Amino acid sequence: MPEQSNGNEQNNFSNTEMSWKIGPREFIFKYLKFIPWIIICCIIAYFLGWLKIRYTTNIFPVQSSMLVKDDNKAGGDARFDAMFLDQRSSNLNNEIQILKSRPVLRRVARDLGLQIRYYNKGKIRASLTYPIAPIRLEIPKMADPDQAFSFAITLVGNNQFVLGKSTQKISFGQPFFIHNNTCVLFGDPLYDVKYLSSPDFIINYSPLSTLVGWFLGDLGVLQVDNQATILSLTFKTENVELGKDLLNTLMSVYDSLNIEDKNRIANNSLRFIDARLDTLKEELNNLEGGIKTFTVTNDAYNIGEQSRMYLSNIEQNQVKLAEFETRIKVLDWLLNYLEAPENRYKLVPTILGIEEKVLLEYVTQFNNLQLERDANLRTTTVDNPMISSMDAALEKVRNNTIQALKNVKQSYLIGKNSLIQQGDAMQSQLKTVPDKSMKLLNIQRRQRILEDLYSFLLQKKLETSISSASTISNSKVIEPALASTKPIIPDKGKIYTIYLLAGILIPVSIIAGRELLRDKVSSRIDVEKRTRAPILAEIGHSEEDATLVVTRNSRRFIAEQFRILRSNLKYMTIKKDNPIILVTSSFSSEGKSFISTNVAAVVALSGKKTVLMEFDIRKPKVLEGLGMKRKMGITNYIIGRAKLDDIIMQVPGFDDLYVIACGPIPPNPAELLLDSKLDELMREIRQRFEVVVMDTAPVGLVSDSISLGKYADCTLFIIRQGHTYRKILRLIDDMYVEKKLPGISLVMNDVKLEGGYYSGYYGGYGYYGGYGYGIESGYFEKPAKKKGIPIHKRVIRWWNKWFS
C-alpha cells in the first residue's frame, strides 16, 4: 500500500508537469539572451547599408513631355492634303519606335559630341565631367572608328600630362598614339590643375553604336494616357546636365525629321508640277503660232454670224469634250509617271482633279506605303525582309493604280467618243459653215484646254510653295527636360529596409535553424513535452575541476542546488527505512558519477550515515573523482575474496560518508551482478547504513542498472542539458510507464540560464537570478576564478554550445 500511494503521488506530479505549457513570458525569457546578437547584427547591417549608399553612384531621373499632333484632325482641305502633304495619321506606337530608333539616337549622340567622354577619378569612383571639361581630345587619324578604346592620364601642371603609369611628360597639342590612333590633347587655359579635385582622368572613346545601346538602356518613352497623344520621355543618369541635353536634343531631332519629311514631299510635288508646266508652255507657244499662221493663210479674221445658231449647241458639246480631253491628258501623264522605272519609289504628287473615288484611294494608299517605307529605312536596310515585303506591296498597289488609271481612261475615252459622235451629228448641221471656220474652232478649243491646264498647275504650284514655306512639325514640346534633386538610385529607404531585415532575419534564421537542428535537450520544456517522469531537481553548470563540490561549509550556488535535491529526495523516500537510491543515465558523460558523489555527500552532511557504491563496474569514476586510491571492492566480495569491512572506505573530510569501490573489472560484469552474493551484500549494507547511493552503469548501453533496480527504492535518472538526446526521453518515458526501474525521477544536470523560466524552478533559482537573487546577488559564495581559456578551446566550446 505505501508503494501504491507513492506511485499515485508520482503520477499526479507527472500529470501536473505535463499540463504546463510555454507562454509569452517563458518564450521571452528563453530567447531574451539573443536580443544583443540581433541588435549587433542590425547595427552591422545598418552600417553596411550606409556604406552601400555612401559609395553607390547617385542616379537621377530626368523627365520631359511632348505633344504629337494628328495632322488629319487639324482642319483644312483634306483633298489638298491628301495630294500634296503627308497622309499619315499619328500612330503613337510608331512615334515611340522612331524616338527610340538607332538612327535618331546616333544623330543625338553625334550632335552632343558624346563619342569622347572625360571622367575625373576620385578616391572611390570616377565621375563624368559634362558639359565642361578641363581637357579636349581630338583624333586626327583613327585606325577603326567602330573600335572603342580608353586610356588614363594625369595632368602635370597646366600644360603637360602623362599617360597611365608612364613618367614621360607630354605637352598639350603634341600628338601621341593610343591603340594605333593618332590623338592630340588640348587643355583649357581657364582651368588651374591645383583647383581640380583630382589630376587623374580617364578618357573614353565609344562608337555611335555603343552609345545607342547605352541610351536605350536608360531611355524610356511612354504614352501618358490612352486618350491623349502626349509622350513622356525619361532618362536615368548620374549627370543631370547630360540627361537634360539628351532629352532636349532628342525632341529637337524628332522635330527636324518631321519637317524634313514634309519638305521632301513638297519638293517632289514642285518638281513634278514644274516639269508639266514646261511641257504645257512649249505646246501653247506652238499652238499660238499655228493659230496665227492659220488665220493669215486662210483669211479667217472674222467668223460669220450665221454659224452662231448652230454653234450654241455645239459649244456645250465642246465644253464637255474639252473636260474629257483634260482628264485624259492628266491620266496619260500619271500613267507615264507611274510606269517610269526611275519613279518606282517616288511619291505620286497629285491626282490633278480626278474625281473618281477608287483612283483617289489607290493613290493615297500608294503614297502612304512610300512614306512608311522611307520611315522604316531610317532604322533598317533595304535587304531587310520587312522592306522586301513592303516593296512587293508597293508594286502591287502601283499595278492596281495603273490598272485603275487605264480603266478610268477607258471610261473617259468612251465618253469622249460619245461626245464626238454627238458632235459629228451636230457638224452635219454646219455644212454651210466654211471648213476653215471649223478648223479655227478646233485650234481654239485645244488652246483653251491647254490654258486651263496651265492655270490649274500654276495654282497648285503656288499652294504647294506656300505650304512648304510654312511647314511646321507635328510635335510640340510641352515641358523641357527637368531633373529631380532626389536620386532614384540608391533608394535609401529600400536599402536600409532590406539590410535591416537581413540583419534581423539572418540571426533569427540561425537561431531558428539551431533550434530545428538541435536534437539534444536544451530546456526543461523539452523534457516535459517528451516524458511523464517527474523532474526532481536541476543542477547548474560547475566551473570547477573537482568532482566533489558539496562540502560542509560550502555556500556556492551549485552546493545549494544539491541541498534542494536532498530536500526533494525526502519526499521520494519518506516511507522508506534506510533507502537505497539508484543513480543512472542513458549513456556516458552525462554527469552520473558527479551527481552520485555529491548526492551522497549532501545526504551525509545532514548527519545520516551514507555509503556510495561504485556499481559502474565497466567504467568506474567515483574513486577517481574523490581522489582516493583503489582497493578491493564489490567484485572481490562477490567472488568471496573480501569481507564487507575490507571494502568499506571512509571519504576524507566527511564523518558519515563512505564509499565502496567496484573492485577489479571482471570479464562478465552482467552475470556477476546476478550472483546471490550480491543479495547478501545489499542486505548487510542496508542494515549498516542509513542511506545507500548506487552509481550504476548507463541504462541505455548495458543492462546492469535494470538488474540492480530490484534493490533500489527510487531511481535518479540523470539528463544533461545540451548532451542528452531528445529521443532518449521517449525511452525514459517507456521505462517510467512500464516501471522497469523503481520510482524514476529526473535530475537535469549542467543546467545553464538558457533553459528559460522553468530552468531552475526546482533547485536552481534560475528564475530569480534576474531579480537580484542569483549567483551575483551576494548571497552565495562565488566560485574561484579559473585561468584564461585558450582561444581555440573557446571556439570549440562556442561551436558545441550552438550546434550541439
- Mean pLDDT computed over 470-487: 78
* Residues whose CB falls within 8 Å of the CB of residue 530, separated by 6 or more in sequence, listed in order: 726, 729, 730, 733
What does the pLDDT read at residue 264? 74
Bridge partners, residue 610, by sequence: 657, 691
What does the pLDDT read at residue 468? 63
Single pTM value for the model: 0.54
Share of the chain above pLDDT 90, in %: 15
What does the pLDDT read at residue 339? 80
Express each pLDDT in 366-391 by its tens digit.
Answer: 778 878 888 787 777 778 888 788 88
- Mean pLDDT computed over 190-203: 78
* Residues whose CB falls within 8 Å of the CB of residue 431, separated by 6 or more in sequence, listed in order: none
The grid cell for 673 is 551482478
- Residue 573, judged by CB atoms within 10 A of its CB (0-12, 13-18, 19+), counts as middle
Express each pLDDT in 710-749 by its tens digit.
Answer: 899 999 999 998 888 888 888 889 989 998 899 899 999 9
Amino acid 672 reads: L
**Helix-then-strand count for the chain, H and E:** 24, 21
Q: How far apart are CA 144 and CA 487, in angstroms?
A: 37
**Average predicted confidence (pLDDT) for the chain:** 79
What does the pLDDT read at residue 599? 92
Say whether pLDDT at 431 is over 60. Answer: no
Task: Compute φ and ψ for 493, nearest 5 degrees.
Answer: -60, -45
Say whether pLDDT at 659 is over 90. Answer: yes
What does the pLDDT read at residue 792? 52
Share of the chain above pLDDT 70, in %: 81
- Mean pLDDT computed over 124-142: 85
What does the pLDDT read at residue 796? 56
Express each pLDDT in 43-96 by its tens digit.
Answer: 999 999 998 888 888 888 999 988 887 655 444 444 444 444 444 445 788 888
CB-CB neighbours of 764 under 10 Å: 27
Domain positions in the chain are: 1-56+490-517, 60-80+90-258, 261-477, 521-803
State whether CATH 3.40.50.300 applies to domain 521-803: yes
What does the pLDDT read at residue 719? 92
Express each pLDDT in 604-629 by its tens digit.
Answer: 998 999 999 998 888 888 888 888 88
Express each pLDDT in 704-717 by its tens digit.
Answer: 888 888 899 999 99
- Mean pLDDT computed over 482-503: 87
What does the pLDDT read at residue 769? 39
Closest CA to 14 of 397, 647, 757, 530: 530
Name the pairing type of β-strands 149-156 and 160-163: antiparallel
Express each pLDDT in 227-247 by its tens digit.
Answer: 778 888 899 888 888 888 888
Say whether pLDDT at 20 is over 50. Answer: no
What does the pLDDT read at residue 501? 92
- Mean pLDDT computed over 637-657: 90
- Cis omega (within 30 of 0) for bond into 131: yes
- The band of 580, judged by pLDDT with boundaries at 50, 70 and 90, is very high
What does the pLDDT read at residue 728? 87
What does the pLDDT read at residue 273? 81
* Residues whose CB falls within 8 Å of the CB of residue 244, separated by 6 or more in sequence, listed in order: 62, 480, 481, 482, 483
Q: How far apart are CA 704 and CA 618, in angstroms?
A: 10
Q: How far apart are CA 600 and CA 617, in angstroms?
A: 18
What does the pLDDT read at residue 303? 52
What does the pLDDT read at residue 689? 94
What does the pLDDT read at residue 779? 47
What does the pLDDT read at residue 757? 39
Q: How far apart are CA 109 and CA 101, in angstroms?
A: 12
226-230, 277-281, 673-677: which has the highest mean pLDDT? 673-677
113 versus 425: which is more confidently predicted? 113
What does the pLDDT read at residue 1? 34
Q: How far apart are CA 635 and CA 804, in angstroms?
A: 37
> Could you give the 3-state DSSP secondary structure of residue 373?
helix
What does the pLDDT read at residue 22? 54
Express each pLDDT in 261-270 by its tens digit.
Answer: 777 777 777 7
- Mean pLDDT computed over 27-36: 74
Say whether pLDDT at 359 is over 80. Answer: no
